[in-house]
Structure 1
Amino acid sequence: MAKKHKHEEHVNHEAWAIPYGDLVTLLLAFFVVMYSISSVNEGKYRVLSASMTAAFHGKPKSMTPIQVGAQPVSGSAMSLIDSIRPAAPASDLIPRSAAPGIPQTARSGMNPERVSSDDREARGRAMRELRALASAIEKAMAPLIDEKLIMVRRNEQWLEVEIRTDILFPSGVASITPSALAVLDELAAIFARFSNSIRVEGYTDDRPINTVVFPSNWELSAARAASVVRRFAEHGVAPDRLGIIGWGEQRPAASNDSAEGRNQNRRVLIVVLGSDRQERAISDPESGISNRLGSSSDDDVAMAIADAEAANAGVIENRTDAATATTEESAQAADNLQDDQHVVQQESGA
């Protein structure tokens, strides 16, 4: 019997390609998933989160926009005077909350001649409160003021208390030193007796900082201002009166080229506003708003208010004159048109 010949099997030298291809495919899928996770669209995520919250916890929040400013007036056509009257500036359309003790006067659409004497008295009272507040601070902080560690400045609209950070914070941190706590507590006791709004602004020099807590001077200045505000709130000052701003190395009070200049730039500025109408401009050390505790009488304020009312009254009178002139021109044009029509009729009859 003949022996069956066996078929010779060849060795497959490319068998490794199949598992290798599977491995590469899995790695590709893995990196695609990782990339998609790292680039999440925040807007879509918020929409998805809101829809899931509405589905599981109740009705969604209202997305209706809030109308800011005066609502549009419906009705008949506006008069000629209203048509030539310019639109109110944007600042007049934004309502502002009235400060305690200061009556709120409508800033748009109100005749300045109707400003009551009570409103003038309230403004004068606000000025007197700022003057009394400044006097109390200067009396309590007299030793530090003499050492140039605290400076007090005031005008008719706001009060500034500038404190060098040398007595408040160690270098590069926002924790108040134990020796400065008594100073802030004494200031808080004075502020608690009044109702003015308070804004604390933090400043640094231009030396960069890059730590885990403070990546830049922005965070450091804001944290220092927040530390002062928190101390005030803990010692009797209403939190709704307080606010903070961190300027970092921006708006220096002196040159950063010298050590003394950098020392002046490291400061905390406490701004006490006179009323809701007195919006303090952004602090500019070179503007020189006033000397320390510069005085101004209530008569000066009354004269300034009277001048403003007279100017506004002149504007209204000019607008009325312009409207009258426009009306007269329209009447004259109508008369001329009637004369022309009469002439045409006579010529047609002829």
Structure 2
Amino acid sequence: MANHSPNASDPDAAVLERIALLRLSAIGDVCHTVPVLRALQDQFPDSRITWVIGRLEASLVGDIEGVEFISFDKRAGWAGYRALRSAIGKTSFDALLHMQIALRASVASRLIPARRRIGFDRARARDYQWLFTNEAIPATPRQHVMEGLLSFAAHLGADIRQPRWDIPVPAADEAFARQHIPDDRPALLISPCASQRAHNFRDWRAERYAAVIDHAARIHGLQTILTGGPTAREKAMAEAIMGHCQHKPVNRVGQTSLKQLFALIRRSRAVLCPDSGPAHMGTAAGTPVIGLYASSNPDRTGPYYSRQWCVNHYPRALKEETGKTVDEVRWGTRVRNPQVMERITVDEVTEKLDGLMQSS
């Protein structure tokens, strides 16, 4: 379908009684989408907004007031699509913001009737997303992921200059976090593992995390809380880290909901993690993030307000791996070397932690 831009002189272009957002995953990208939602709520307070979202991701943001959330189970196969069609029913939308570049999401988008079907510009609309839309956001090369998503709200005329999140935290989850991080004991939260994908090397060594934990306790009086998912890999990482520590952290790996994790992050002095969802949960919570980046570019996927605290070996690693600079490769190119995170040293991380603690 041909792309077109809304005509500001057309009065029908401003009629947005019902708006649908399609962003299923992942946790970090859903965190980036919340400011899109907030901008739309502020700009169009009378519009009814529906967000089609992944089931796990809905557990983090699905209690935002004034929004209809429809969970889509990507693991359910065709049953997931049938459930989505049933949930949408006969509802038709004035605008659909199709913010996920994945064929599975594009197929789901066909079950959401909308007059304006807005997707990425042709350069970014991979997996044939452009076939499922009739309108595109402006082409803006080399944006941070969150800026790209905010472009959808700006395309509808919303003010995006001051992103806000305001993700609710229920009282029970706040009490859980306060129990683990009392007011008189500041904490460093470490989420050591990134999601496991093929040829995606983002994890750091257990003994190096342990050295940072001991430094944080000895120099700054910080207790450390380890968090992560319930997989055997993440639990083994936590046990390995604890085995190398003199100052033992609190191990909550596999033992928190997303809301509990968000509450813990919100009460922490800092988050330490590789390129992963908790980095962006930190941004959403207003907690500074020390990001570990070597295989991916923090200017694209780093914690939005904490990029000064990132340890960034990506440009040098990319140059040595490909012979090219950041400006010479496709935006989003990763370094696919299993040893790439070895470049990050303990001293670099503790230096970032020291600077962050001194600045706060």
Report the TM-score range of the alignment, normalised by the length of the smaller protein: under 0.3
TM-score in terms of structure 2 length: 0.19
TM-score in terms of structure 1 length: 0.20
Q: From the two aligned structures, give the one with the greater helix fraction.
A: 1
Between structure 1 and structure 2, the one with the greater Rg is 1
Q: From the two aligned structures, give the one with the greater strand fraction.
A: 2
* Greater length-normalized contact order (CA 8 Å, ≥ 6 residues apart): 1
